Amino acid sequence: MLQQLRGLFVFAGFAINTIFWFVPVFLLGIVKLLVPIASIRRGLTRLLMKMGEAWVAINSANLATFASIDWKSRGLEGLRRDRWYLVMSNHQTWVDILVLQKVFNRRVPFLKFFIKQQLIWFPFLGIAWWALDMPFMKRYSPKYLAANPHMKGKDLETTRRACAKFRNTPTSVINFVEGTRFSEAKRDARNVPYRHLLQPRAGGFAIAMASMGELFDAVLDVTLVYPDGPAGFWEVCCGRHVEVLVDVRERPIERWLFEGDYENDREFRRRVHSWLGDIWQEKDDLIQQILDSRRSHD
């Protein structure tokens, strides 16, 4: 019962903090939408990013004070807030987002997620996401393109136009390349060649590269490891002790990654899959090394 009450208390802290910052973000988002002057919009964007960082900082303080998370991170040296990054991470639990926000907050530009363009019309949140410069992505299904072949390539053009505003604003975009959270059941059902990861899905990565690749200064290759196993959000709120190691490796952006045609060039597609596969194998080996080292010390 005490753990459940603690969970409610911590969750209430997240909820109050979110509502507190959502209201001014939403209102300033409307102002930003209505004012056509570019300089004012840029000023509002900077203010909104600071609000987003304050929201993350208070969430992190809530976790540090009332939860029981043992954070360990490495590879953060040399990161800058005036650069453009694609943050590429494995995905273990919903808590990953809180971990990444805490580790990168005010070290790199405010983390953003690619969001489906249709969600811009979501009540209230759509304006907030737009105000915070979340990159909106348009995707057409293979079935739709088969019926409307003239629309082929239009989704990428739309996404590129949406990302054009980032040319003047340092940006960090996060991509969970596996597309879903890891579980042993998913790994076994999909016949994945890794021990601790799912197969990387190259489609979202390729769109990010095609849309913004020439802007990115580097890929931040993040490996998240929970030596005692990942915990759910509610478990963290209730005080379960969680150890998490965040390993960050900065990788250069090679021109071929954003100059190819992922949709129509089969050889380029194979090359991207191979590039991601090599990185994922390194990740898998790294996770195994960390777990083996942990067991040898226990």
- In the chain, the largest separation of any two C-alpha atoms, in whole Å, equals 61
pLDDT digits (tens, 9 = 90+) for 100-123: 999 999 999 999 987 777 777 777
Taking residues 222-231, report their average pLDDT.
93
Q: Are 87 and 172 contacting, i.e. CB atoms less than 8 angstroms apart?
A: yes
pLDDT over threshold 80, residue 160 = no
Nearest to 184 by CA among 201, 198, 203, 202: 198
Element at 239 (helix H, strand E): none
pLDDT over threshold 80, residue 297 = no
Rounded Cα–Cα distance for residues 68 and 243 (Å): 9
Domain of residue 135 covers: 2-297
Taking residues 10-28, report their average pLDDT.
93
Provide the 10 A C-beta neighbour count for residue 162. Answer: 22
Taking residues 219-240, report their average pLDDT.
93
Taking residues 1-15, report their average pLDDT.
91
Helix (H, G, I), strand (E, B) or coil at 45: helix
Nearest to 286 by CA among 201, 198, 224, 207: 224
Phi–psi pair at 245, nearest 5 degrees? -110, 130
What's the pLDDT at 203?
82
Question: Which segment of 104-108, 177-181, 201-205 scores lowest on mean pLDDT?
Answer: 201-205
pLDDT digits (tens, 9 = 90+) for 42-65: 899 899 999 999 999 999 999 999
> Residues with Cβ < 8 Å from 273, sequence gap 6 or more?
200, 202
Q: How many domains does the chain have?
A: 1
Rounded Cα–Cα distance for residues 39 and 48 (Å): 14
